[in-house]
Structure 1
Amino acid sequence: MTQPGPRGRYGGRTAAERRAERRERLMTAGLELFGTAGYAASTVGQICREANLSTRQYYEEFADREALLIAVYDHVNAEAQAAVAESVKNTHGEPLTERIKAALTVYALTTATDLRRAKVAYVEIVGVSPGVEEHRMATRARWVELMQALLSTGIADGEIPDRDYRLASSAYIGAANGLLQDWCATPDRAPLADAVAELARISAALTG
């Protein structure tokens, strides 16, 4: 039988490492089930079987199913926000329209190339509960702020009029989420590149 090692190690890993590995397995199982069968059809028991863990181990990491859904959703958004921030940095000095198009491309690729991620980000997260809706809207607000920051560079460079773009940014994020939600939910969906091109046209219209 494997014996605990020094400094709380067991099987060569610390308790923190084992817990992180369990959490990762639950996150992977949540993405798989929420992104295929759907949130409403996925029970904690099914998630645990998918992760090959016990329900006791599940509740050591997550208070309930909503907590796991939020964690998976946050992970998708965190990766997308990091990718968009990197795109904005890498396209510094280019025309605003090209910077927006590049940001949209990496946003769509990060969130929607894997249909499971798209389903979590745009379909399964919507309308779950008041608490989840509050979290979703707070995440949306952060995307609006990021869009405003990008547009502010266009103001500084004299590419677009100097005005308040908060409402335009909100309208754009709403349009982007709605378009990708519809794209994700349509069985005979168009190529993702078509959705990206449509997003670019919407952004051009909003910025004039």
Structure 2
Amino acid sequence: MVTEVCGKMRRRGRPAALGQAARRALVLDALDLVYEEGGAGSLTMAEVARRAGMSKRTLYEIFEDRGALFTAYFDKVGCQFIRDLPAEAEGLPLAERLTLILEPREECPTALPLEIFRCIIAEAPARPEMAREFMRKLRQRAMGIVRAELDRAILRGEIRPADTALVSSILLDMIHQNLVVQLMDPGTQQCLDERCRRFRTALDIALDGLRG
């Protein structure tokens, strides 16, 4: 059947299917809503599928397991923790470049990232490969961004030659509050001012050592 809308002919029928990117976005929005409504205990694939308005089978076609879903979530909110350096900032001194990509800028709007870590750790004994892949992907992006700036700094003579992979790993660990402490006692999670103070202190220590 055909109807006329605003002078144009439109065929009735089922709405166009969502593309892959739109479906992924729908699922990630559903993950936020599931946590807001039911807390950490509701973070199951079945509940996320229900909230997204799709079957579990469809959800598993988009994300192969919870690890893949959680990794995609961190890709979505990654700018809260580390950002890509704008091209126009590449000429700035190292301290300013690292500040642009690493300095905390906002409070975490939800405790979901921490709860995701809790879920991954709880499942690690039964599914170590999922936990390992989750951490590898999560760490890979952050390490790549920081290491690129350290390599650039060595080429420019801003810092002495060093193992930039190791330095990147140490710097990231210094900047962020110990995850185990937060998991054991969520009340110890730092506010934005405390996170910024920790960042500046860690950056000063790292740069003092690299220039020495």
- TM-score of the superposition, structure 2-length normalised? 0.69
Unaligned runs of 5+ in 1: none
Look up the match of 1:143.
142
Look up the match of 1:101.
99
Task: Report SS of the residue matched to 2:31.
Answer: helix
Task: Report SS of the residue matched to 2:139.
Answer: helix
2:113 aligned to which of 102, 118, 140: 118
Shift of 1:42: 2.2
Which AA in structure 1 matches 2:114?
K
C-alpha spacing 1:67/1:146, structure 2 compared with 1 (3 Å): closer
Quote the Cα distance in structure 1 between the aligned partners of 2:160 and 2:47: 53
Q: Which has the higher helix share?
A: 1
Aligned length: 195
Shift of 1:202: 0.9
Tell whether the 8 Å contact from 1:73 to 1:121 is kept in structure 2 after alignment.
no
Which AA in structure 1 matches 2:140?
A
Quote the Cα distance in structure 2 between the aligned partners of 1:147 and 1:127: 29
Tell whether the 8 Å contact from 1:147 to 1:169 is kept in structure 2 after alignment.
yes
- TM-score of the superposition, structure 1-length normalised? 0.70
Quote the Cα distance in structure 2 between the aligned partners of 1:32 and 1:55: 17
C-alpha spacing 1:144/1:58, structure 2 compared with 1 (3 Å): closer
C-alpha spacing 1:84/1:24, structure 2 compared with 1 (3 Å): closer
Quote the Cα distance in structure 2 between the aligned partners of 1:85 and 1:125: 26
Quote the Cα distance in structure 2 between the aligned partners of 1:194 and 1:33: 29
Tell whether the 8 Å contact from 1:144 to 1:170 is kept in structure 2 after alignment.
yes
Shift of 1:91: 2.5
Look up the match of 2:131.
133
Q: Which has the higher contact order (CA 8 A, sep 6+)?
A: 1
Backbone CA RMSD of aligned residues: 3.6
Look up the match of 2:7.
none
Look up the match of 1:205.
205
Unaligned runs of 5+ in 2: 3-9
C-alpha spacing 1:70/1:197, structure 2 compared with 1 (3 Å): same
* 2:196 pairs with 1:192: no
